[in-house]
Every structure is written in C-alpha cells, then in structure tokens.
Amino acid sequence: MEDLRDLRDAKDDSHHYACRNWNVAPVSSVIELQFSMAPGTALVQKRRGGDGITIVVGGEAGTAEGDFATCMVWSTRPGNELPVLMIVMNNRWGISTPAETQHGERHVIDRGKGFGIPGEVVDGNDPVASWYAVRRAMDYCRQERRPYMLEVMVSRLYGHSSSSGAQRVKSEEDCIALFEQKLIDNGVLTPAECESVHREAEEEVAAASAEAANDPRPKPEDVEKFTYADSKVDRVYPGDYTGLP
C-alpha cells in the first residue's frame, strides 16, 4: 500500500498514474506518446545489460498515431534491436469510432511483420490464456533482447468515459462473469466464495474512495511542483519553476 502512495503524486487523471517503486513511468492523456518513450527506456535497459524489458500498452485506435510507428522503427534498427513488449488492447472502439472503419490490416500485429516483429493475438477475456501469452512475450523480449507485439482482444463493457456516456454495452461478453462461471463449473470456487470476493473488493474500493475524499485539497502553489526533476539550476534560480535560466 505504501508503494501506492506514490500514485497520488500523479497530476493527471485519476487513472493516469505513475509509480516509481514499480517502475511505472508517467502515463499521459495524449494517446500513444508512451510508444515513442518506450524505445528510450529499452535502450537504457539494453545498454546496461541484464534482462530488463520495457512494456508499453495502448488501445488499437491509438496505433494510428505516428508514435506507434516510431516505436517499431526505433526498436528494430539492425544491431540496435530493443527489448520492448508492445501490447495493444483491442476493444474495437476508439471512443465512438468502430475499428473496422479504420484498419486496413487484419490484425494490428500484422503491422509488425514489415519490421520483423513477431506477435500474437490473444483472447484478453480469458485471464489464463492472457497470463500465458504475456509470459511467452516477456520471455521472448528478455532472452532475445528484441521487440514483440501482443494484440489483446477485449470487451468494452462501458462507454469510453463519463464524457461519452458510461452506460454498459449489453452485447459484450463480461470477462469477469465468464471466468467466475468457469471457476464455479470446475469446482474451484463456490458461488458464495465468489460473492465474498465481490464484497471484499467493494469494501476495499469504498474505503480507498473515502480515504481519498479526506485528502487535503491541493494548494494553488502546488501546481508547479513535480513538473520537472530537481536540478542544480533550481538552487541558483529558486524562483524559476522551469529549472531553466
């Protein structure tokens, strides 16, 4: 839980967090930027040696941005291939735009083929299949020190956000309900045990939300905090928040 306190330093949306202790780099509202940052961290990981890899995640609509191509180009330079695991969560919608009206390729991972990036399409509504697929992909990046692409097919149970209507989309498969039924059918959990997992989760969320609501309000002067890393220049120009003379 202490690790998660870091999340509160994030100055973006509630779900656009960073967590230094877990090596989660800041996420931006500007979709796909993370794909042009990923080769940077992967380059450092490759130079340092060891088996560290960079995992970068985005939606299928975002792959239309140039940053996705940047990631493929920079991760596959001959002799400088980089250990980047590119994960595309394909829920077939970019807010209200259907994917089938935007993609000439059959699968997003097909784009990687031109760059020699291997890939796999996985049923993201199946947590066990997803776990194994992520492990295979991570093992590849760790061992080969090269990029790999995973396209994860998932449901979109609600609207994009409260701005586009958060109502449930009725025709979509609910992956949690499906998995729960599978566990019940196979005697792993009883319906009562499932119910208690739901209750525990609800209580945890309610407690976290109450705690967050009691957090002190940010002060106007805090708006300039944590925007840039500390630098020696800050000490010379203490009143200049940009850190630049």
Q: Which residues bind ligand TPP (CB under 6 A)?
A: 29-31, 58-62, 89, 91, 93-95, 160
* Structure tokens belonging to residue 122: 């996985």
Q: Which residue's CB is nearer to ligand TPP, number 46 or number 107?
A: 107
Q: Is the C-alpha dihedral spanning 75, 146, 89, 10 positive or negative?
A: negative
| Nearest alpha carbon to residue 226 among 11, 5, 2 | 11
Nearest to ligand TPP of 63, 75 (CB atom): 63
At its nearest, how many Å lie between ligand TPP and the CB of residue 16?
10
CB atoms within 10 A of CB 223: 11
The smaller minimum CB distance to ligand TPP, of residues 31 and 175, is found at: 31
Alpha helix (H) ranges present in the chain? 2-5, 33-48, 66-75, 110-113, 127-144, 175-185, 191-213, 232-236
Give min distance, CB of 66 to ligand TPP, in A.
10
CB of 206 to ligand TPP, least distance (A): 26
Q: 55 or 194: whose CB is closer to ligand TPP?
A: 55
| Shortest distance, position 180 Cβ to ligand TPP, whole Å | 23
DSSP character string of 128-145:
HHHHHHHHHHHHHHHHH-
For residue 160, the minimal CB distance to ligand TPP (Å) is: 6
**Residue whose Cβ sits closest to ligand TPP:** 59
Q: What are phi and psi of 58, to 5 degrees?
A: -160, 175
Output 171 or 186, the one with its CB closest to ligand TPP.
Answer: 171
